Each structure stands twice: as structure tokens, then as C-alpha cells.
């Protein structure tokens, strides 16, 4: 016990209590409400769930959306990652930045403009009609509702939003492959696609698995996009609707447990699969990445394909920008009249102006809490003088929000703290929203700080301690200044992610005066008059704030940015 620091132990206890109360306890409460009925264990709610045709269809739809979105997103992400890691071509640095564009706006915001573009009388049909008509291939107008199948529309938007996660994770894995392993395969006559299947792809599986876990959970639990498509037969929307009648309809508890169990199983299964084989490489760290120089013709082809994809990925952003400035837009490719009135209205309208203030306030306070928690959890996990098992437990708890869907945590908060005056979303949701934001994004903050601590040698701190400095003074004067870049990058990223938080915002912000931007956008989108245009203007403001934040964070973190999105 002599190596245990009482200060470290006290900090561990306080941090653990916070995480237990705001992360574990709400989940346990939901489980208790699900399985304990009238004082005894019961599977009654699951029996009802299996007999309810709407709930069964919702579960199937959510699985289908998540599975197809994951497969296609990994496919796209792998191609992009392989191209950018293994080939050298002009404008490569620019494309590496542009490929992260989807991060600056949640898919449900882009859905507003995408539905406009791909509707029966939308821009895509008008453009195709003009092109094909000019070529003499058609005589009448094209009137296809491209998103008539709403599931395909949701999948399309999920892919456009989530592929950067696949790209970042897979690119990191491919970069870590020892080139001598591939060269050895080539000396044995294994080349081309066979070398890729037998050497490159297996060695990059850790990145594929990490990305797959995040993408599957994200798309399975996405609430905003189905709501924008008015598609209600998915699990998140069912939970959202049931959250409005928690006391009258307890099925929401069972659906939340189902989400938690299924996403946990998928998360663990994917992680276990990636660790079945060893991926350690003796030569890593002593060799450079294998990069091929493309001929001019191949560079043109690659640049064209990447440009087309980036244009597709930018469609949600382009669409809401156009809608935010549109005064008249019907049967035309772009608006025929433009206006700034929607932006003026954003700052005059009580709902939109207050939502901007609310989001900024919630995000700033949540970021401060996340910085404090990230510092304590990362420092104790990396430096704390307590038993290793306690350090590992705290580290695992800190990372757990990556595997806990936002909608599940929000439902847990909504039900668990309903009778706590200062934490009840039904009375004043400010505190619980701030806590939800900071808890959800704590892993990003913790990973950023932990990476910084790994680069600070312990001898620097030990030398100061040997000269009489107190542990707190050492942390304040030496440790924090040395990892300030990591703290800043993590804080900016947490702030931007809080600004675009969807599930917890939609569920916990119950009264209009407390709406954050994302909840205001959803409410405006249901207004058949100028709601979509006003929502788009609010979305563009959100894009600008998040884009600036992401640029600052990526500048500081550099290539380590991808580490923050790992499972």
C-alpha cells in the first residue's frame, strides 16, 4: 500500500462517483424498469415487443439501415484511405481536408436540402431533364422521387456523413503496415490483388473493425435523419415517441435496453474479431510508408473520382446553403431569386435567436466540464499511483460513452432524473443537457489529453517533485503547459461536437425556451411555410461555427485527429 497516493485515490473516487451517477446509474435504472415489474423479475415487455408488428418492423429496419450503411461506408472509406495513403498525387493535401467536410453538419440538417434537391420537382430532375432533353434522349420531364424509398435515402445520407470515420481509422491502420511484409510477399510471387487480400487487408483489419463498430452503432441509433424523412418505423424514433409518455407507456425502457444490448454485442463482437489474430509488426517505426507515384493519366482519373465523391459528400451542405438564400425556388436547378431575409429572421425570431445562445452556452460549459474530467481521468489512468485495476476501470468507464448510444443515455436521463428538480428535463433541462453533452464527448477529450501525457516524460515531473514542488503545482506549472496543445485541440473538438449533438438535444430539451440549435432546426422543419428556409439558415450558421472549430482542432492535432474517432 506504500506506493498508493492518497491524493490519487481521492481523485479516482470522486471521478468514479461522477461517472457512476451520470453514466452507469441511468443505464441500471432503465434495466431495472425493464425487468422488474410489480416487484418481481419479468420479460413481459419483451414478449409484447415480439408480438407487436410495428416494433418488430422497426427493429428490422434499424438493423437493415445499420448493416447496409456500415458495409457501404467501409467500402467507400477503404478505397479513399488506400488511395490517399499509398499514392502520391497533386492536391493530395487539399483532398485530405475536403474529405472531412461531412463532420461539420449532422446528416439530419443536410436532409432538409437533400429532400428538396431529390424531390419529384427538385433540382436533380430538372437538371437531368435539361441534359437528356438536349441530347434528344427524352421528350417529357423526369419526375422521379429519388427518396420515395425513405430507407435508401437515410442510408445514402448516413454514408455521406460517416465515411470520414472509416477513412480516418483505415488510413491510420494502412499507414502502420510494415512495408517489408508486402515486399516479402512480392519476393514470393504474391502481387497485385492477391497481395492485397492476403497481406494488406488482413493487417488493416484493426482500423476496419474500429470504424465498423462506430458506424454501425451510429447508424443504428441515429434519430434525426429518420425524423427528417418522416420515417417512424425505426427503433430510435419509437424510443423518441415513447419518451413523451414515459409513465403511460413503459415500452420505451425495453426498447432502450434492446438498443444497449444489441449495440454492445456488435461492439464487442467486432472488437473481438479484430483481435483473433496478431497484428504486431517488428519493423514498424524503423521503416517508412510505401507510397507510389502515379503517372499523369492515373492522377487525372484519381482526381476526377475523388472530386466526384467530394461533390456528392458536399451535396447536403450545398443544398442547405442554397435553401438558406432562396426566395423563389420551384422548377429550377437553383433558386431564381435570392434573399438575406432568412438570416435576418434568424436573429429576430425568438426561437432561433435563443437557440443560438443556448447552444453556445451549453457547449461552452460542457467543454469546460469535459476538460476537467478529461484531465483527471487521463492523468489518473496514465500517472495515478493506485492499483492498475482501478486505473484500467476508470479508463474503460471514460471510453464507454463511445459504445453507449446518445438516445439510450438521453432516455436514461429523462426517466432516471424525472423527479430530481435540478436534473429534471421536464422542469429545467439546462443542467442535464450540459451533463449529457460533456459525458457523451468525454472520450474525445480524454484521448486527446492521454496522447499528450504519453509524450511527456515522467522524469520532468519527478525532478520538480524532488525539488520540493507539490503534485498540484507540478501538474499546473509543468504537465498542463506541456500538453496544452492536446487540451486545446480536444476542447475545440468537444465544443463543435456539442454544437451538433442531436439525440440528447431532441429528447432532453422539452421546452422551447431551452431549445439548442439542433432542436430548433427540427421544429422549424415541420413548419410548412418558411420553416425549411429558416432552418437552413440556422444550419449554415451551425456549419460555420463547427467548420472553424474543426479547422483549429485538426491544425493542432494533425494526423492524430483520426485517433479521436477510434472505437
Q: What is the pLDDT of residues 306-325, one digit of tens each?
A: 999 999 999 888 999 999 99
Lookup: cell for 391: 486505473
Averaged pLDDT, 368-395: 88
- What was the pLDDT predicted at 231? 92
Rounded to whole angstroms, how far apart are CA atoms 387 and 390? 6
Q: If pLDDT is split at 50, 70 and 90, which confidence band does 251 have?
A: confident
Residue 57 pLDDT exceeds 90: yes
Q: Of the candidates 454, 435, 444, 434, which has an alpha carbon nearest to the alpha carbon of residue 488?
A: 444
Give the best-scoring range by mean pLDDT among 392-406, 421-435, 522-536: 421-435
Least confident of 95-104, 174-183, 306-315, 358-367: 174-183
Cβ burial of 14 (10 Å; 0-12, 13-18, 19+) is: exposed
pLDDT band with cut points at 50, 70 and 90 for residue 564: very low
Q: Mean pLDDT for the chain? A: 85
pLDDT value of residue 287: 45
Q: How does pLDDT run across 119-174, given as a tens digit for each residue?
A: 888 889 999 998 988 888 888 788 888 888 899 999 999 999 999 989 988 888 88
In this model, does residue 285 exceed pLDDT 50?
no
pLDDT confidence of residue 176: 78
Output the pLDDT for position 477: 76
Locate the domains of the chain by residue range: 6-25+61-565
Under 8 Å between Cβ of 228 and 115? yes
| CA pair distance 340, 325, nearest whole angstrom | 6
b/e map 430-451, b = 16+ CB within 10 Å: bbbbbbbbbbbbbbbbbbbbbb
Q: For the CA atoms of the chain, what is the radius of gyration?
A: 25
Between residues 105 and 3, which one has the greater pLDDT? 105
Count of positions (residues) in the chain: 567
Q: Quick check: 288 pLDDT over 50?
A: no
Question: What pLDDT, on the 0 to 100 scale, is given for residue 281?
Answer: 52
Name every residue whose Cβ is closer than 8 Å to that of residue 174 and which is 6 or more positions away in sequence.
Answer: 81, 82, 85, 86, 200, 204, 207
Q: Find the mean pLDDT for residues 452-477.
A: 73
What does the pLDDT average to over 503-523?
92
pLDDT for 535 beyond 60: yes
Q: For residue 108, which of 202, 234, 200, 194 has the smallest C-alpha distance?
A: 234
Please give the Cα distance from 395 to 380 (Å, whole number). Answer: 9
Q: Which of 289-303, 411-425, 463-477 shows the lowest per-residue confidence on average (mean pLDDT)?
A: 463-477
- pLDDT confidence of residue 284: 46
277 secondary structure, DSSP code: S
At 270 the pLDDT is: 72
pLDDT greater than 70 at residue 566: no
Stretch 453-467: mean pLDDT? 72
Q: What is the CATH number of domain 6-25+61-565?
A: 1.10.3720.10
| Whether pLDDT at 464 is above 80 | no
Of 198-207, 396-405, 548-557, the least confident: 548-557
- pLDDT exceeds cutoff 90 at 563: no
Comparing 13-22, 253-262, 365-374, 479-488, the range with the smallest average pLDDT is 479-488
Residue 567 confidence (pLDDT) = 44
Could you tell me the pLDDT band of residue 274, with boundaries at 50, 70 and 90?
low
Give me 297's grid cell: 493519366
pLDDT of 247: 67
- Residue 243's CB: how many other CB atoms inside 10 A? 21
Quick one: pLDDT band at residue 20, thresholds 50, 70, 90?
Answer: very high
Contact 497, 442 (CB under 8 A): no
What is the per-residue pLDDT for 472? 76
**How confident is the model over 98-105, as a mean pLDDT?**
83
Indicate if the pLDDT at residue 452 is higher than 70.
yes
pLDDT > 70 in the chain, percent = 92
The answer, yes or no, to whether residue 249 has pLDDT greater than 90, is no
State residue 435's pLDDT score. 95
Q: Where residue 244 falls among pLDDT bands split at 50, 70, 90?
A: confident
What's the rounded Cα separation, in Å, for the pair 182 and 284? 13
Amino acid at each position: 500500500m506504500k506506493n498508493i497516493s492518497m491524493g490519487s485515490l481521492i481523485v479516482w473516487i470522486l471521478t468514479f462517483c461522477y461517472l457512476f451517477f451520470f453514466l452507469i446509474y441511468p443505464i441500471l435504472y432503465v434495466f431495472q424498469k425493464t425487468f422488474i415489474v410489480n416487484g418481481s423479475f419479468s420479460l413481459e415487455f419483451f414478449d409484447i415487443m415480439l408480438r407487436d408488428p410495428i416494433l418488430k418492423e422497426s427493429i428490422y429496419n434499424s438493423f437493415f439501415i445499420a448493416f447496409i450503411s456500415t458495409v457501404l461506408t467501409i467500402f467507400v472509406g477503404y478505397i479513399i484511405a488506400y488511395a490517399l495513403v499509398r499514392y502520391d498525387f497533386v492536391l493530395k493535401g487539399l483532398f485530405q481536408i475536403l474529405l472531412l467536410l461531412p463532420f461539420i453538419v449532422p446528416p439530419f440538417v443536410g436532409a432538409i436540402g437533400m429532400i428538396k434537391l431529390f424531390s419529384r420537382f427538385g433540382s436533380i430532375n430538372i437538371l437531368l431533364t435539361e441534359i437528356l432533353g438536349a441530347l434528344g434522349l427524352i421528350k417529357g420531364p423526369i419526375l422521379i422521387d429519388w427518396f420515395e424509398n425513405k430507407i435508401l435515402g437515410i442510408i445514402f445520407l448516413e454514408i455521406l456523413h460517416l465515411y470520414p470515420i472509416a477513412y480516418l481509422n483505415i488510413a491510420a491502420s494502412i499507414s502502420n503496415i510494415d512495408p517489408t511484409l508486402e515486399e516479402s510477399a512480392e519476393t514470393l510471387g504474391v502481387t497485385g490483388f492477391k497481395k492485397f487480400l492476403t497481406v494488406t487487408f488482413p493487417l488493416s483489419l484493426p482500423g476496419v473493425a474500429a470504424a465498423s463498430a462506430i458506424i454501425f452503432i451510429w447508424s443504428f441509433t441515429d434519430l434525426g435523419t429518420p425524423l427528417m424523412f418522416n420515417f417512424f418505423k425505426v427503433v430510435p424514433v419509437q424510443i423518441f415517441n415513447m419518451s413523451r409518455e414515459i409513465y403511460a407507456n413503459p415500452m420505451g425502457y425495453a426498447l432502450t435496453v434492446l438498443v444497449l444490448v444489441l449495440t454492445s454485442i456488435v461492439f464487442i463482437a467486432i472488437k473481438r474479431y479484430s483481435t483473433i489474430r496478431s497484428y504486431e509488426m517488428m519493423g514498424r517505426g524503423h521503416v517508412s510508408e510505401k507510397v507510389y507515384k502515379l503517372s499523369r493519366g492515373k492522377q487525372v482519373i484519381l482526381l476526377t473520382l475523388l472530386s466526384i465523391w467530394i461533390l456528392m459528400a458536399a451535396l447536403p451542405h450545398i443544398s442547405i446553403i442554397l435553401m438558406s438564400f432562396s426566395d423563389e425556388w420551384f422548377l429550377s436547378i437553383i433558386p431564381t431569386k435570392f434573399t438575406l431575409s432568412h438570416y435576418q429572421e434568424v436573429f429576430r425570431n425568438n426561437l432561433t435567436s435563443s437557440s443560438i445562445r443556448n447552444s453556445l452556452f451549453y457547449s461552452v460549459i460542457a467543454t469546460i466540464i469535459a476538460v476537467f474530467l478529461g484531465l483527471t481521468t487521463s492523468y489518473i489512468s496514465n500517472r495515478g499511483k493506485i492499483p492498475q485495476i482501478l486505473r484500467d476501470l476508470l479508463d474503460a468507464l471514460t471510453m464507454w460513452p463511445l459504445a453507449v448510444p446518445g438516445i439510450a443515455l438521453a432516455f436514461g436521463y429523462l426517466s432516471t432524473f424525472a423527479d430530481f428538480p435540478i436534473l429534471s428535463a421536464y422542469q429545467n433541462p439546462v443542467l442535464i443537457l450540459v451533463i449529457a453533452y460533456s459525458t457523451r464527448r468525454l472520450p474525445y477529450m480524454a484521448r486527446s489529453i492521454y496522447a499528450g501525457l504519453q509524450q511527456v516524460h515522467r522524469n520532468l515531473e519527478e525532478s520538480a517533485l524532488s525539488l520540493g514542488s507539490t503534485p498540484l503545482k507540478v501538474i499546473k506549472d509543468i504537465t498542463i503547459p506541456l500538453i496544452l496543445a492536446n487540451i486545446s485541440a480536444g476542447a475545440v473538438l468537444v465544443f463543435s461536437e456539442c454544437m451538433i449533438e442531436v439525440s440528447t438535444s431532441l429528447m432532453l430539451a422539452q421546452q422551447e425556451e431551452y431549445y439548442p440549435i439542433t432542436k430548433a432546426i427540427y421544429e422549424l422543419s415541420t413548419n410548412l411555410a418558411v420553416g425549411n428556409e429558416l432552418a437552413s439558415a440556422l444550419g449554415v450558421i451551425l456549419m460555420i461555427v463547427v467548420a472553424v472549430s474543426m479547422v483549429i482542432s485538426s491544425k493542432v492535432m494533425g494526423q492524430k485527429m483520426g485517433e479521436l474517432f477510434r472505437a
